Every structure is written in structure tokens, then in C-alpha cells.
Structure 1
Amino acid sequence: MRPALPPGLHQGGVVAIGRRLDARRVAAIADGLLRGGVRAFELTLNDPEAEALTAIETVARHAEGSELTVGAGTVLSIEAAGRAIDAGARFVVMPHTDAALVAWAAERGVPAFPGAYTPTEILAAWRAGAAAVKLFPASVAGPNFVREFRGPFPDVPLVPTGGVTIETAPAFIRAGALAVGLGSWLTGDGDPAGIAERGAQAVRAVAEARAGR
């Protein structure tokens, strides 16, 4: 059975991506995201993985009972996915499509967002049990790809990621994307107040695009 999408993807339409964030600061960053209306926080499993797992565990504990869902990004293997889930990740994101990894996550009720770039890759990811497919790199594919793809495949939710900016995010949403992934622009400086402000700006831009404005 295909796992349900995290509610945060529908609510805010923004996945905040944190890469190599200091595990001592991620709780404050999570608070900033919540204040800004962002409801999905992806922490990537870059080296050192142990610190990334500590960051995931910290956010998972800190955000327990809140509307923020924490996930793991740059998940390259089943083993890494297992460690991330044990640390508290509630979804896993990949830069590639690994059907075995997607199926493994689906069997455990964990939403997986595999990365894909072509219609063939996207459909392979979807058929393996993906909850949504990460269109990557989205800056190369562009909003027109999303629009054209959704013509014959309207039921496959796409989350454009990679080079998406606050300026281009609305075009992806208007083209039919479920949500967008925003990285360094949103979380890069680690300042909770700035993150809250930028998060609110991104959520507002997505809402306006969904409303056709």
C-alpha cells in the first residue's frame, strides 16, 4: 500500500531542506520554520552522517506534538534509510530512483520521495510505491515540464527540488506541482527570525499560486 503524504506537504506546500546544519541549532531552526508556516523539514544525510542523524533526532524530539514533520534527505541506501527512520525521520528523500528502497520504505509505511527527471524515471518511482516524486534537478526541467507531464499523468504528485527559488516556486505550483523544495535560501543562515520571515514568504507565494494569483 502506498503511504500517505505527510500533511505538511498539503498545508504549506514547502519542504525546507537543511544541508549540513549544526545539530545544536536545528531545534531553533525548526521553531523558525513553524512560525513561518512551513510544515516539512528535510535534513540531508551528508557526511558526517552521525551528526545528520543527531540533527534528525533532535528535531523529531523537539517538534513532537507539533505540525512539523521531519524527514531525511540524500538517502542513498536501505541501510541509511533504516538509520534515519530509527532517528525519527518520518519521510525519506532520494536524489535518485531506487525501486528496492522505495518499496522497502512503502512496506514500512514511510513515505518516500525518490528523485527522477524523465517521465520513465518518474513512473518507475511511482509504481515502486513512492508517496510523491521529487523532480530533480527542477531548475533544469522547468515548470513547463511539470505542466506537460501532468497532462497524461495527473495523479502523480511532483515536488520540484534543486535550484528552485522564491521567484520560480510559484510557476512550478501553477504548473501543477504539489509542493516545492527550498534549500539554502530558506535555511542557510540558520537565523530563526530570518527563517520564519522567509518561510512565511514562501508559504504565501505557494498559496497565491494555488489560488491562481
Structure 2
Amino acid sequence: MNDVIHQINVEKVVAIIRLDSNLHIEDIVRSLYEGGIRAVEVTLNTPGALDSIKQLKGSFSDMVIGAGTVLDAPSAYSAILAGADFLLAPTLQKETILMGSRHGVPVIPGVMTPTEALKAYEYGAQTVKVFPARSVGVNFAKDVKGPMPFLNVMAVGGVSLENAVEYFEKGWNSIGVGGSLINRKLIDQRNFEEITDRAKQFIQLRDQKVCK
């Protein structure tokens, strides 16, 4: 298993950063870091996303910094050149996975069916992102791993402090958390302390599950 995928599986919580401006992105990531988060993705539709990835890689050497909303192979290549440790895509695109594999950067594609999950695995994806996870329910990972126990699955879309434990308990390898951790209101208020507090809560829920 790729070292980055292994780290994501260990950390279990990936913070999704989708912003209207990258002005405060380092403050945001520092707040996440102080809360215990060690895996983040910067979506490519965030202004200045590629420059932000380069900047964050230099500032947080023990974090894995990924690129999200990677829609095609050219975008994947640009993110790889920026230093992204991993790539997340909302859909399943073979060319994107192959681009990542060619450069040793894992791609986590978005899927919604067992057929798509298997195709992603056959294309070389070591983890699949079920998106939006709220649409398939928390039992999806357990159900799909019955016939395909080799799959690693990440839940993205609708994951919150209220339901995170369910995902941990139902066989999901990791979760991606966006709006319930980082949102426009908190950024506008410069309320980075609240981001740290929410990050700590997600990590506490993870650790409660791991320690059981």
C-alpha cells in the first residue's frame, strides 16, 4: 500500500478546504493542525489552489497535503507538479488515475456504485471516495466490502460531528470533512479557534473508536 494512503487510513480524518479566497489558508491549516488533523485537501476550485499547496507543503512537513476536485488528467498533472501528496476526484476518470500512477501519486476517485468501485480498483486506485456518501448511507462500506474486502473506502459528503462515529463503526477507512469543519462564516469571522475545536472533536471521536 502506498505510504500516503496508509497515512490517510491511520489518520482517518481528511479536512476538505474549499474557499472563495486563499488569503487565510495557512491560518486555517495551522488551526486544523493544532486540533490534531494531519491530512488536508485543497480543492482546485479554490483561488490560487496550486500555489497554496506549494506553500502548505513547505510550512507543514509532517502533514499530507492533497488536491481535491481534480476533474481530469491535465489538472492532476498540474497538482502533481505543485507537490500534492494525493489527489481526490469527484468522479471516476481512468486517465486521471493513470496520470497519478505514472508519477507515484495516489488518486482517490469518486464512485457511487460497486461497479464503479471495482473499476477504480482495476484502474489502480488504492482508495475510492464514495461521494456523496449521504446518498448511499453509512452501511455502504460494510455492504460493498462483503464481496470486495480489498477495497478501501472514504466517505465524503454529509459527514459531520453528529454522524462521524457511525462511519467509523460501519467499516469506512476514512472520512472527508468539509463544511462541518471549515465554513465561510468561521473564515469571515476569523474564528480559527472554533476550527481547532471542531478538529479536536473529530479526532476525539476517531480515537474513541480506535481505542474500543
Q: Scaled by the length of structure 1, what TM-score is found? A: 0.90
Q: Which residue of 1 aligns with 2:37?
A: 38
Match of 1:201 in 2: 201
Q: Report if aligned partners of 2:138, 2:170 keep a CA contact under 8 Å in 1.
A: yes
**Alpha-carbon deviation of 1:5?**
3.3
Tell me the equivalent position of 1:55.
52
> Does the Cα contact within 8 Å between 2:93 and 2:109 map onto a contact in 1?
yes
Q: Is the 8 A contact 1:22 1:55 kept in 2?
A: no
Q: Which residue of 1 aligns with 2:12?
A: 13
Asked if structure 1 preserves the Cα contact closer than 8 Å seen for 2:57 and 2:83, the reply is yes
Match of 1:125 among 120, 123, 130: 120
Give the direction of change, closer, same or farther, for the CA distance of 1:210–1:141 in structure 2 (3 Å limit): farther
**1:92 partner SS:** strand
Kindly state the Cα deviation for residue 142 of structure 1 after the two structures are TM-superposed: 1.0
CA distance in 1, matches of 2:30, 2:87: 21
Q: Secondary structure at the match of 1:23?
A: coil
C-alpha distance in 1, partners of 2:209/2:129?
Answer: 19
What residue ranges of structure 2 are gaps of 5+ in the alignment? none
Q: Matched residues in 2 for 1:36 and 1:47: separation?
A: 23
Contact between 2:4 and 2:85, CA under 8 Å: does it hold in 1?
Answer: no
Change over 3 Å in CA distance of 1:126–1:4 after alignment to 2 = farther
Provide the C-alpha distance between the structure 2 equivalents of 1:86 and 1:15, rounded to a whole number of angstroms: 21
1:105 aligns with 2:137: no
1:54 shift after superposition: 2.1
Q: CA deviation at 1:111?
A: 1.0
Match of 1:96 in 2: 91
State the AA in 1 paired with 2:19: R
Aligned residues: 207
Deviation at 1:3, TM superposition (A): 3.6
Task: Find the residue that maps to 1:160 and give its secondary structure.
Answer: strand
2:160 aligned with 1:149: no
> 1:5, 1:131 within 8 Å by CA — same for their partners in 2?
no
Residue type of the partner of 1:144? Answer: N
- TM-superposed CA distance for 1:172, in Å, is 1.1
Q: Structure 2 CA distance, aligned partners of 1:166 and 1:174?
A: 14
What is the match of residue 25 of structure 2? 26
Conserved? CA contact 1:4–1:131, under 8 Å: no
Which structure has the higher relative contact order (CA within 8 Å, separation 6+)?
Answer: 1
Over the aligned positions, Cα root-mean-square deviation in angstroms equals: 1.7
Secondary structure of 2:23 counterpart: coil
Counterpart of 1:173 in 2: which secondary structure? Answer: helix
Name whichever of 182-191 and 84-93 sits farther off: 182-191
Amino acid aligned to 2:39: A
Kept in 1, the 8 Å contact 2:66–2:88? The answer is: yes
5+ residue gaps, structure 1, are: none
Shift in Å, 1:7: 4.8
Shift of residue 53 of structure 1? 1.6
Paired with 1:104 and 1:34, the residues of 2 have a C-alpha distance of 29
- Asked if the contact 1:97/1:114 (under 8 Å) is kept, the reply is yes
